[in-house]
Amino acid sequence: MKKSNKIFIPCEEANHNCDKSQYNEATLWEKIKLNIHLLYCRVCREYSKNNSKLTKIMKRKEVEIMPSSEKNSLKKAFQKELANHK
């Protein structure tokens, strides 16, 4: 993704900065440029708003995922069982 040193950035870059900031990977300068962009761009403002909401709900504790180690051992056990069914 190309980077500009200008204060005014295109939507594409604004969204990219917004995505990065959802994972705390945007630099201060990137965040400043994003916020300036949001001042005058309604479309990106909408994206930004939904993006932050998405981040928030993904962090809620009801959102569970099977731990990788468990998933791997399940996979192994299942493969073994599967072989018996062929």
Residues that bind another protein (CB under 8 A): 1, 15-16, 19-20, 22-23, 25, 47, 50-51, 53-55, 57-58, 60, 62-66, 68, 70-71, 74-75, 77-78, 81-82, 85
Q: Tell me the HSE value of 58 on the side-chain side, using a 13 A CA sphere.
A: 8
Whole-number Å distance between alpha carbons of 32 and 18: 11
Q: Tell me the HSE value of 61 on the side-chain side, using a 13 A CA sphere.
A: 0
Task: Give the shortest CB-8-to-another protein separation in angstroms.
Answer: 20
Check: CB of residue 8 under 8 Å from CB of residue 37.
yes
Task: Give the shortest CB-29-to-another protein separation in angstroms.
Answer: 17
Task: Give the shortest CB-20-to-another protein separation in angstroms.
Answer: 7
